[in-house]
Amino acid sequence: MTKRNDIRNIAIIAHVDHGKTTLVDELLKQSSTLDERAKLDERAMDSNDIERERGITILAKNTAVDYKGTRINILDTPGHADFGGEVERILSMVDGVVLVVDAYEGTMPQTRFVLKKALEQGVIPVVVVNKIDKPSTRPAEVVDEVLDLFIELGADNEQIEFPVVYASALNGTSSKSDDPADQEASMDAIFDAVIEHIPAPEDNSDEPLQFQVSLLDYNDYVGRIGIGRVFRGKIKVGDSVTLVKIDGTHKNFRVTKMHGFFGLKRVEIQEAKAGDLIALSGMDDIFVGESVVDSQHIDPLPLLHIDEPTLQMTFRTNDSPFAGREGKFVTARNLEDRLMQELQTDVSLRVEQTAPDTFVVSGRGELHLSILIENMRREGFEFQVSRPKVIVREVDGVQCEPFERVQIDTPEEYMGSIIEALGTRKAEMADMVHTGNGQVRLVFLVPARGLIGFTTEFMSMTRGYGILNHTFDEYRPMVDGSIGRRRNGALVAQESGQATTYSIMNIEDRGTIFVMPGTDIYGGMIVGEHSRENDLTVNITKAKNLTNVRSATKDQTAVIKQPRILTLEESIEFMDEDEYCEVTPESIRLRKQILDKSARLKANKKEK
């Protein structure tokens, strides 16, 4: 079979923060792709505001570079397990992967997750040990760890014979030697390893067409855009082709526009053939996994597997006393339209309407859903969300829940309290390794519901020195009992008004306050965390009675503790079953579902 030696298709995979996106930046800069005038921003591939702020990749991106006459199509993938669905589908488009591993941290939970997916697809790996310039690197041990991981995950002989390149993406240097002094000021070692080891795609462009959609994009002018690979044959603008849907039905359509990728731009093209990665428009309801084939030869590719959601939250219209004050889009129709729009491009998401103003939104994890909420908030939406719940499934007649593999790196002094805290959340320890310098690495298997709300507790427990990573492992039989509920009750406002310094001073001994003086408050809003297990209703709007009697010491300046202002993620973690998080473009408020105190007490009695 002839090969297309002028092209290579690769995906860059790694644990979050091991330097994938920075590496892609350098490959773009050092290839003959961008013109001299083009200024490349740092992490150019992360185009979304939230990606830039958090330094993470959420959506897979594709680009292409030219190196010594070969076009290399590069797909930058997310490292977080919540976006694992993206990684899996991208691997179906490529012939090889560049696995990036941090020269100090070594293999991490998501390294294992993404590599497992890559080996299952049978793609050929090239390993890049990145951040070789950092002090305290251990390249030889890291390569051994990677090899152990390959063997553990059942790699075949061809996959185990992987080439290793040592690099510093930040400095734009690479080399085949693990000595930092031997680094050369170019990325040629990586380019050469890719061209030498990653197989070229087959050139079967004279056979009938087969194209499969792996990613979706959306554009107001042309509607849905299917991004994928031409596996066989040729496709031209103006061709009449057949789309084979997931349910097996056929739809004929005409190709109106095609784009290829080069550098940071999409370039309009007229023709593509086997091995090319392209974006196709003209079909309004094209979906991931579907095949576009020659109308005379209906021969679709196997459907792609998409990971099912493991977590769900209720989204509903805002009905608090402050509803409609701060948002631009506040109605159930606005909410429905926006969620339906999200479904156009995010295939791991599910939306089900359960009442005229209520939607159950299911996703791959807390991060996946909180990023959707944050995006909507920035766009001007105002709504409420409930506490996340795990999705329980029935497997062979047994109720099963998702379990996560959790890896923790922490100073040894915090080990005992971490083991104890996770023990109460029904975790079982899988491994414990002393990594030297007083550090220990712990691996646990934990029910996913036991991790809801654990991050904040973990950070305060380890004083910020601990690193926690987790990834979905498998569904297992349900563990008995309630796990991961909040230990402390809430401080709930009694009436509406503005929070005053005087009242905050009087109640701050009862717990941690979440609001500043002058904040608008309504009855039933949560204004702090109680130091005990029960909820406590407090008057936070009470002003000081002014009299004309003065004493020498009484009126010294009132000083209150700095309140703890919760972020969106912290609010979602803090919430309990009977609470909502009210999200608007300007505020994030926590509230009780039943605002009236006596009605709330009645409901609690009934439940008990």
Annotation-wise, does 17 bind a ligand?
yes
Asked if residue 300 belongs to a domain, the reply is: no
Asked if 113 and 124 sit in the same domain, the reply is: yes
36-69 tens-digit pLDDT: 434 444 444 444 455 444 444 434 457 788 888 8
Is the pLDDT higher at 393 or at 26? 393
Annotation-wise, does 553 bind a ligand?
no
- CATH code for the domain of 419: 3.30.70.240
Measured CA to CA, the distance from residue 43 to residue 51 in angstroms comes to 9
- CATH code for the domain of 316: 3.30.70.870
Q: Give the model's pLDDT for residue 506.
A: 86
417-455 tens-digit pLDDT: 888 888 888 888 888 888 777 888 888 998 888 888 787
Q: Is the pLDDT of residue 333 over 90?
A: yes
Asked if residue 204 belongs to a domain, the reply is: no
Q: Give the model's pLDDT for residue 222.
A: 72
Domain end residue (candidates: 294, 319, 347): 294
Q: Give the model's pLDDT for residue 228.
A: 87
- Band (pLDDT 50/70/90 cuts) for residue 80 is low
- Band (pLDDT 50/70/90 cuts) for residue 77 is confident
Asked if residue 163 belongs to a domain, the reply is: yes
291-305 tens-digit pLDDT: 888 888 888 888 877
Q: Is the pLDDT of residue 589 over 90?
A: yes
334-393 tens-digit pLDDT: 999 999 888 877 777 899 999 999 999 998 878 788 888 988 999 999 999 999 888 888
Asked if residue 301 belongs to a domain, the reply is: no
What tokens does 253 get? Answer: 């359509």
Annotation-wise, does 337 bind a ligand?
no
Annotation-wise, does 50 bind a ligand?
no
Measured CA to CA, the distance from residue 580 to residue 331 in angstroms comes to 17
- Band (pLDDT 50/70/90 cuts) for residue 588 is very high
Asked if 16 and 150 sit in the same domain, the reply is: yes
457-505 tens-digit pLDDT: 787 888 877 878 777 778 888 887 777 677 788 999 988 999 888 888 8
Annotation-wise, does 578 bind a ligand?
no
Taken as a whole, the chain contains a residue count of 608
Asked if 164 and 86 sit in the same domain, the reply is: yes
Asked if 515 and 593 sit in the same domain, the reply is: yes
Q: Give the model's pLDDT for residue 51.
A: 43
Query: Which whole number is the average pLDDT over 311-319?
Result: 92
Measured CA to CA, the distance from residue 23 to residue 26 in angstroms comes to 5
CB-hemisphere CA count at 13 Å for 428? 5
- CATH code for the domain of 104: 3.40.50.300
Q: pTM to 2 decimals?
A: 0.76
Annotation-wise, does 133 bind a ligand?
yes
Asked if residue 304 belongs to a domain, the reply is: no
Asked if 180 and 34 sit in the same domain, the reply is: yes
Asked if 356 and 402 sit in the same domain, the reply is: no
Asked if 273 and 357 sit in the same domain, the reply is: no
Asked if residue 157 belongs to a domain, the reply is: yes
Annotation-wise, does 450 bind a ligand?
no
Asked if residue 191 belongs to a domain, the reply is: yes
Domain end residue (candidates: 197, 223, 251): 197
Classify each residue of 67-83 as buried b or exposed e, where b means 16 or more C-beta atoms within 10 Å of its C-beta. beebbbbbbbbbbbbbb
207-235 tens-digit pLDDT: 888 888 887 777 767 777 888 888 888 88
Domain end residue (candidates: 417, 450, 477): 477
Q: Give the model's pLDDT for residue 437.
A: 74
Asked if 402 and 347 sit in the same domain, the reply is: no
For residue 390, the surrounding DSSP H or E stretch is strand 389-390
Asked if 381 and 400 sit in the same domain, the reply is: no
What tokens does 187 get? Answer: 């990325």
- Band (pLDDT 50/70/90 cuts) for residue 84 is low
- Band (pLDDT 50/70/90 cuts) for residue 81 is low
Q: Give the model's pLDDT for residue 39.
A: 44
Q: Give the model's pLDDT for residue 79.
A: 54
Q: Is the pLDDT of residue 99 over 60?
A: yes
Annotation-wise, does 131 bind a ligand?
yes
Q: Give the model's pLDDT for residue 36.
A: 40
The DSSP call for residue 38 is: P
- CATH code for the domain of 521: 2.40.50.250
145-156 tens-digit pLDDT: 889 888 888 888
Measured CA to CA, the distance from residue 222 to residue 210 in angstroms comes to 22
Measured CA to CA, the distance from residue 183 to residue 335 in angstroms comes to 53
Q: Give the model's pLDDT for residue 527.
A: 92
Asked if residue 461 belongs to a domain, the reply is: yes
Asked if 288 and 317 sit in the same domain, the reply is: no
- Band (pLDDT 50/70/90 cuts) for residue 553 is low
Q: Give the model's pLDDT for residue 556.
A: 52
278-294 tens-digit pLDDT: 888 877 778 888 888 88
Q: Give the model's pLDDT for residue 44.
A: 42
CB 534 within 8 A of CB 510: no
Q: Give the model's pLDDT for residue 85.
A: 61
Annotation-wise, does 18 bind a ligand?
yes
Query: Which whole number is the average pLDDT over 261-266?
Result: 73
The domain in which residue 244 lies consists of: 210-294
DSSP track, 95-118:
SEEEEEEETTTBS-HHHHHHHHHH
Asked if 469 and 495 sit in the same domain, the reply is: no
Annotation-wise, does 437 bind a ligand?
no
- CATH code for the domain of 230: 2.40.30.10
Asked if 154 and 105 sit in the same domain, the reply is: yes
Look over the chain and give the mean of its residue pLDDT values, rounded to a whole number: 82
Q: Give the model's pLDDT for residue 56.
A: 45
Number of domains in the chain: 5
